[in-house]
């Protein structure tokens, strides 16, 4: 992204002039819009909060791809999804200092986006190596227990039968569709009640500061899922690797989240075996 694009996005945010046409002209700016938010919204989080008709739209736009128009998803559907995205973006903007002029606010917003974009480009190289590795470990554990991986774009967990699991599933919830890295329907527990499933989120961190900033995200996700299925208990786990201090671990555990370390995959395997019917 060049400086002029960042300035254009920042001006639209500060002046309240963001239109869906700017995204249609340059779909990749969706990443800049995410980075303008406080806190920064992940693609899955933005898609869930916006309750998009096409759940993969945000990721496709960031790759520079416009959706293919069809009877199932026409131009009006696309425009409606873009409006939903902009409404969410607007709701996650912090007020800038009132004593600043509009020009100063635009410069400040541009600096914030540029700094976040630079950090993301560096840290993504680390994350891009860590996340596939974590998923590979989980797939190995589940495969060794006889579970079958089911590709799934459904938001209804009932699409998974006992002994099946799905990766990166958007789970229907009360406030928004909640993206979950791994959803497992435990073997021997045929009923579709929520307690017969295990939800796993993969997390990796290169420093302690970043995890403490984001520690509430998982707790809020669990709360939304629990409120969406109040008659049963959510079994939510974190599969973590890297720098996670005791403060973070205690906070997550107090929220009812179980912790498993990437370098100790046998503990996750033992837990799933204990939970099976």
DSSP code per residue over 17-43: ---HHHHHH-GGGHHHHHHTSSSPPPH
Cβ–Cβ under 8 Å, residues 6 and 32: yes
Q: Is 246 exposed, middle or buried (0-12, 13-18, 19+ CB in 10 A)?
A: exposed
Fold of 145-275: Trna Endonuclease; Chain: A, domain 1 (3.40.1350)
The SS3 of residue 152 is coil
Torsional class of 234: left (φ above 0), alpha (ψ -120 to 50), beta (otherwise): beta
Question: In this predicted model, what pLDDT tens digit does every residue of 45-102 receive, in sequence order?
Answer: 899 899 998 888 999 999 999 998 888 899 999 999 999 999 999 999 888 878 888 9
The helix (H) or strand (E) run that includes residue 254 is: helix 246-254
CB neighbour list of residue 129: distance below 8 Å, 6 or more residues apart: none
The dihedral formed by the CA atoms of 11, 14, 20 and 23, expressed in degrees to the nearest 10:
50
The residues spanned by each domain of the chain are: 3-122, 145-275
Question: pLDDT tens digits, the chain, 277 residues: what are they?
Answer: 677 888 889 999 988 888 999 999 999 999 999 999 988 888 888 998 999 988 889 999 999 999 988 888 999 999 999 999 999 999 998 888 788 889 989 988 888 888 788 777 665 555 566 778 889 899 999 999 999 999 876 667 888 999 999 998 888 888 878 889 999 999 999 888 889 999 999 987 755 555 665 677 788 888 888 888 888 889 999 998 877 778 888 888 988 899 999 888 999 999 999 999 7
Q: What is the pLDDT of residue 123?
A: 58
Q: What is the per-residue pLDDT across 31-59, written as a single tens digit (0 to 9) for each?
A: 999 999 988 888 888 998 999 988 889 99
**What's the whole-model pTM score?**
0.56
DSSP assignment of 161-186? PTTEEEEEEEE--SSSPEEEEEEEE-
pLDDT at 79: 94
């Amino acid at each position: 992204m060049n400086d002029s694009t960042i300035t254009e996005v920042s001006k639209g945010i500060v002046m309240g002039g963001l239109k869906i046409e700017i995204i249609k002209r340059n779909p990749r700016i969706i990443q800049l819009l995410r980075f303008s938010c406080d806190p920064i919204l992940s693609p899955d989080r933005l898609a869930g909060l916006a309750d998009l008709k096409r759940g993969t739209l945000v990721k496709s736009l960031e790759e520079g791809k416009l959706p293919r128009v069809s009877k199932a998803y026409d131009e009006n559907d696309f425009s409606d999804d873009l409006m939903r995205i902009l409404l969410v973006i607007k709701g996650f903007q912090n007020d800038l200092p009132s004593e600043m002029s509009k020009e100063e606010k635009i410069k400040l917003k541009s600096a914030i986006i540029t700094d976040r974009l630079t950090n993301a480009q560096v840290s993504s190289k680390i994350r891009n190596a860590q996340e596939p590795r974590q998923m590979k470990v989980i797939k190995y554990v589940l495969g060794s227990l006889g579970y079958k991986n089911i590709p799934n774009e459904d938001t209804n967990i009932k699409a998974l039968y006992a002994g099946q699991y799905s990766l990166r599933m958007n789970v229907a919830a009360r406030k928004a569709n909640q993206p979950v890295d791994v959803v497992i329907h435990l073997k021997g527990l045929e009923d579709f009640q929520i307690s017969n499933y295990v939800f796993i989120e993969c997390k990796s961190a290169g420093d302690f500061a970043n995890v403490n900033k984001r520690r509430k995200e998982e707790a809020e996700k669990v709360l939304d899922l629990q409120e969406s299925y109040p008659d049963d208990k959510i079994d939510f786990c974190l599969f973590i690797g890297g720098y996670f201090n005791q403060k973070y671990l205690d906070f997550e555990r107090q929220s009812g989240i179980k912790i498993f370390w990437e370098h100790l995959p046998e503990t996750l395997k033992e837990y799933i075996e204990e939970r099976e019917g």
